[in-house]
């Protein structure tokens, strides 16, 4: 899943802590990438090879020089489009549980970071089945406003995240034993 629970030392946890924890937990969310960087390099290389194969028959002919700029432009266009997709998809949401504070920061490329803070005692995770911009729309309500979280996740991932957030918010509300 394109999200991960960690503790303060950066150690990955399988799920949120079910008991109130003295150490803060963090939830990192990011959009899923179906084409990793290694796959990008392979795809561009395969595209160059496939486009170059028909050009082998034109070796030694003047027509080759007429086609090369268009072939280079097509490959550059594919490179730019995929690179642009990577840049615009570099969204990161970080939700931090730190004692009496709950803090959500959304980092997007080319935009200033947006943050939201509230007391976890008053925060509620809401899963809207219908009426939201996406199916199974997940929001956090509390403090001065309601904010979305994980809008780039699939509906099933948002449902799973909702269950985990409800558990973690309940643990944050529980009184800490002395």
Residue by residue, pLDDT tens for the chain (178 residues) are: 688 888 766 677 665 555 545 446 889 999 888 888 899 999 999 999 999 898 889 988 999 999 999 999 999 999 999 998 888 778 899 999 887 889 999 998 888 999 999 988 899 999 998 777 888 899 999 877 899 999 889 999 999 999 999 998 888 887 665 5
The closest of 71, 23, 24, 76 to 51, measured between CA atoms, is: 71
List of residues 6+ apart from 27 with CB closer than 8 A? 3, 4, 5, 6, 16, 93, 94, 95, 96, 165
**Cα–Cα distance between 136 and 144 in angstroms, integer?**
23
- Structure tokens that stand for 2 in this block: 């394109």
Residue 31 buriedness (CB in 10 A; 0-12 / 13-18 / 19+)? middle
pLDDT at 159: 94
**pLDDT, tens digit (0-9, with 9 covering 90-100), for 12-62:** 766 555 554 544 688 999 988 888 889 999 999 999 999 989 888 998 899
**Cα–Cα distance between 130 and 47 in angstroms, integer?**
42
pLDDT at 99: 76
The pTM for the full model equals: 0.74
pLDDT at 130: 78
Q: Is the dihedral of CA 7, 141, 171, 176 positive or negative?
A: positive
- CB of 6 closer than 8 Å to CB of 25: yes
Q: Identify each DSSP E strand in the chain by its residue range.
A: 3-7, 12-13, 25-29, 92-98, 101-107, 114-118, 124-128, 137-142, 145-148
């Amino acid at each position: 899943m394109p999200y991960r629970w960690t503790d303060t030392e950066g150690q990955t946890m399988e799920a949120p802590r079910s008991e109130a924890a003295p150490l803060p937990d963090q939830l990192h969310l990011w959009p899923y990438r179906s084409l990793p960087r290694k796959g990008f390099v392979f795809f561009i290389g395969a595209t160059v090879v496939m486009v170059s194969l028909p050009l082998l028959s034109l070796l030694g002919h003047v027509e080759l020089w007429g086609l090369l700029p268009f072939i280079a432009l097509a490959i550059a266009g594919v490179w730019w489009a995929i690179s642009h997709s990577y840049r615009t998809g570099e969204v990161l949401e970080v939700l931090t549980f730190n004692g009496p504070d709950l803090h959500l920061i959304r980092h997007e490329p080319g935009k200033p970071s947006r943050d939201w803070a509230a007391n976890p005692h008053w925060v509620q995770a809401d899963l809207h089945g219908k009426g939201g911009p996406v199916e199974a729309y997940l929001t956090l309500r509390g403090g001065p406003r309601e904010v979305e979280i994980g809008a780039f996740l699939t509906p099933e991932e948002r449902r799973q995240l909702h269950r985990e957030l409800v558990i973690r918010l309940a643990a944050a509300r529980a009184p800490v034993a002395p």
